[in-house]
Amino acid sequence: MNARVTPQSGPATIRRAVARDARRLTRLVRGSRAYEGQYAAMVADYRVGPDYIETHRVFIAVAADEHESRVLGFYSLVLVPPELDLLFVADGVQGRGLGRLLVAHMKCEARAAGLDRVRVVSHPPAEGFYRSVGAVHTGTVSANPPAVAWDRPELEFLIPPAVAGVSSAVA
């Protein structure tokens, strides 16, 4: 699914990521203010590699007004087991609806893949966002030092089947 969307931050295009997007996605992860302070170590050496992009369903939101070159955000949907592995929105466009659009797109992709639920192990400060877009709390994933030194909320999106005659495209 390739969708043009218009969050409050302006027009964006959501498209499937390709291997050459890897560096830009890695920069977005490593530069996220959500991972400052105590969380910095988790993403300091994190890498979104071309192999990861080719293996999973990674979708990228790019600014439609700049020759689709500025990365606004992205997500990664792992099919087996079903999990929203990554979701990042650039610091400068957070709070403007792009995260909600990425989640809606992810739900459509999950539905198209035949999934009925998608697990999320959330960064603790992001739990409120996930709940606001329909995820339900299912538990807690214990810390796993040294990679992750804190407990994380576990949530789940329930993916209802498509209703006959209703398009599920994000546009």
d(CA 107, CA 171): 13
Tens digit of each residue's pLDDT (9 = 90 or more) over 115-135: 999 999 999 999 999 999 999
Tens digit of each residue's pLDDT (9 = 90 or more) over 143-169: 988 778 889 999 999 999 887 655 555
Say if residue 93's pLDDT is above 60: yes
What is the model's pTM? Answer: 0.86
Q: What is the DSSP letter of 56?
A: S
Q: What's residue 83's pLDDT?
A: 98
Question: For the chain, where are the E strands, in sequence order?
Answer: 3-5, 12-16, 57-63, 71-78, 83-89, 117-121, 136-141, 152-158
Long-range contacts of 66-73 (CB under 8 A, 24+ apart): 68/13, 68/15, 71/21, 71/24, 71/25, 71/27, 71/28, 72/9, 72/12, 72/98, 73/28, 73/98, 73/99, 73/102
d(CA 74, CA 98): 10
CB 15 within 8 A of CB 59: yes
Say if residue 171's pLDDT is above 50: no
Say if residue 5's pLDDT is above 50: no
Q: What's residue 10's pLDDT?
A: 65
CB 75 within 8 A of CB 86: yes
If pLDDT is split at 50, 70 and 90, which confidence band does 1 have?
A: very low
Say if residue 141's pLDDT is above 90: yes
CB 74 within 8 A of CB 86: yes
Q: What's residue 39's pLDDT?
A: 85
Tens digit of each residue's pLDDT (9 = 90 or more) over 26-81: 999 999 998 888 888 888 889 999 999 999 999 999 987 755 578 999 999 999 99
Q: What's residue 122's pLDDT?
A: 95
Q: What's residue 116's pLDDT?
A: 97
